[in-house]
Amino acid sequence: MSKLKLPGLIDIHTHMREPGAIHKEDWDSGTSAALAGGFTTIFAMPNTNPAVMDNKTLNLSLKEAENKARCDFAQFIGAGSDNAEKISLLSPKTAGLKMYLDSTYGELQLGDMAQWISHFQYWPKELPIAVHAEGPTMAASILLAHLYDRPIHICHVSRKDEILVIKTAKERGLPVTCEVTPHHLFLTAEDINHLGPGRSEVRPVLASPTDRDALWENMDVIDCFATDHAPHTLQEKDGANPPPGFPGLETALPLLLTAVHEGRLSIDDLINKLHTNPRKIFNLAEQPETFIEIDPDTTWEIRADETFTRCGWTPFEGMQVRGRVFRVVLRNHEVFKDGRISAKPGTGRNLRTQST
């Protein structure tokens, strides 16, 4: 097959670690990894330090991003126990609202349901609420979205019961969308053995082969692929209290292109779930002058020492993949070619400052 031109990919779930933990990643290294992986827009999660939960912390993160980002971006704001009304006024400046309702990394996990409900009441209906909610919590969050008649987006769906509930909710016309990560499509609990206990730590945890198969079998229920790029250093992952999370920006596209090559995924599905649906769900304008060029036939081996992320490892080390991005054009400027980033820090734009 010859070279292919695709629209710039959009990752709606990225952890940048700045402010607070730039030894893991910062806006520069993280957006470099994005471009190298074919992503021209990333949405940054709010579980930084300080967490993004009000005007001050939002501006702090956006200032770093505006100075350092090499790809386009928007910033999620985090739901707290008493900030629902205040942050609803900031929504035009954000990618959306993020609510953590289950075990995660950082301080943002919400406790009781009374705290969730205020966010369902206040957050504007034009933008989805993205939730980290698993199993019964996920079902409860879909019910609340229904009761308050507003859209909800389920982050990193990993299990059979979850995807089947989402399928049924969609069949009933409920306003739910969802994302699945490449690691839950390509790894299972059986990989914990070779990855080791620290390096296999991730939330949601790696699931069973049956769960993984259910995700593939319900590909039409999945709206988006999202990396949940959650970099922690190798030292941290191999240390005493390994934090959960995998890097993913530089491995998502080659893994999914490999599935395309194997006939398990169509290229249209890949474009819909990494560009078209993210754009529609989160109200982003088309960027006709932003695109990527890929070579779908190149076979290569994933190696952490060739990546731009600062974390220094990947759970896919040594995996043979087929398909690679070789050129990225951002708003008419070549920003990546043949493994080299040419975008300068600050090239990236906040997509929520020029919204309509």
Q: Beta strands 152-154 and 176-180: pairing type?
A: parallel
Q: How far is the CB of 139 from ligand NCD (least distance, A)?
A: 18
Residues 203-262 that bind Zn ion (CB under 5 A): 228
Q: How far is the CB of 173 from ligand NCD (least distance, A)?
A: 29
> Does 230 engage in binding with ligand NCD (CB under 6 A)?
yes
Taking residue 253's Cβ as centre, other Cβ atoms within 10 Å add up to: 26
Please identify which residue in 31, 47, 188, 227 interacts with ligand NCD, judged by CB under 6 A: 47
Residue number with the smallest Cβ distance to Zn ion: 132
Q: Kindly report the three-state secondary structure assignment for every residue of the chain.
A: CCCEEEECEEEEEECCCCCCCCCCCCHHHHHHHHHHCCEEEEEECCCCCCCCCCHHHHHHHHHHHHHHCCCEEEECEECCCCCHHHHHCCHHHCCCEEEECCCCCCCCECCCHHHHHHHHHHCCCCCCEEEECCHHHHHHHHHHHHHCCCCEEECCCCCHHHHHHHHHHHHCCCCEEEEECHHHHHCCHHHHHHHCCCCCCCCCCCCCHHHHHHHHHCHHHCCEECCCECCCCHHHHCCCCCCCCECCCCCHHHHHHHHHHCCCCCHHHHHHHHHHHHHHHCCCCCCCCCEEEEEEEEEEECCHHHCCCCCCCCCCCCCEEEEEEEEEEECCEEEEECCEECCCCCCCCECCCCCC
Q: How far is the CB of 347 from Zn ion (least distance, A)?
A: 20
Q: How far is the CB of 104 from Zn ion (least distance, A)?
A: 5
CB of 48 within 8 A of CB of 18? yes
Choices 137-145, 242-250, 293-301, 333-341; region in contact with ligand NCD by CB under 6 A: 242-250
CA distances from 7 to 36, 86, 198 (A): 15, 36, 36
Looking at beta carbons only, is 51 or 294 nearer to ligand NCD? 51
Looking at beta carbons only, is 160 or 237 nearer to ligand NCD? 237
Residues 188-207 that bind ligand NCD (CB under 6 A): 202-203
> Does 228 engage in binding with ligand NCD (CB under 6 A)?
yes
Please identify which residue in 132, 199, 229, 310 interacts with ligand NCD, judged by CB under 6 A: 132
198-214 burial: b if 16+ Cβ within 10 Å, else e: bbbbbbbebbeeebbeb
**Binding at 199: pick from ligand NCD, Zn ion, none (beta carbon under 5-8 Å per type):** none
Q: How far is the CB of 231 from ligand NCD (least distance, A)?
A: 8
Choices 72-80, 89-97, 100-108, 192-200; region in contact with ligand NCD by CB under 6 A: 100-108
> Does 132 engage in binding with Zn ion (CB under 5 A)?
yes
Size of site (CB under 6 A) for ligand NCD: 13
> Does 75 engage in binding with ligand NCD (CB under 6 A)?
no
> Does 15 engage in binding with ligand NCD (CB under 6 A)?
yes
**Binding at 244: pick from ligand NCD, Zn ion, none (beta carbon under 5-8 Å per type):** ligand NCD
**Binding at 212: pick from ligand NCD, Zn ion, none (beta carbon under 5-8 Å per type):** none
**Binding at 7: pick from Zn ion, ligand NCD, none (beta carbon under 5-8 Å per type):** Zn ion
Residues 102-121 that bind ligand NCD (CB under 6 A): 104-106
Q: How far is the CB of 108 from ligand NCD (least distance, A)?
A: 9
Q: Which residues bind ligand NCD (CB under 6 A)?
A: 15, 47, 104-106, 132, 202-203, 228, 230, 243-245
Q: Which residues bind Zn ion (CB under 5 A)?
A: 7, 104, 132, 228
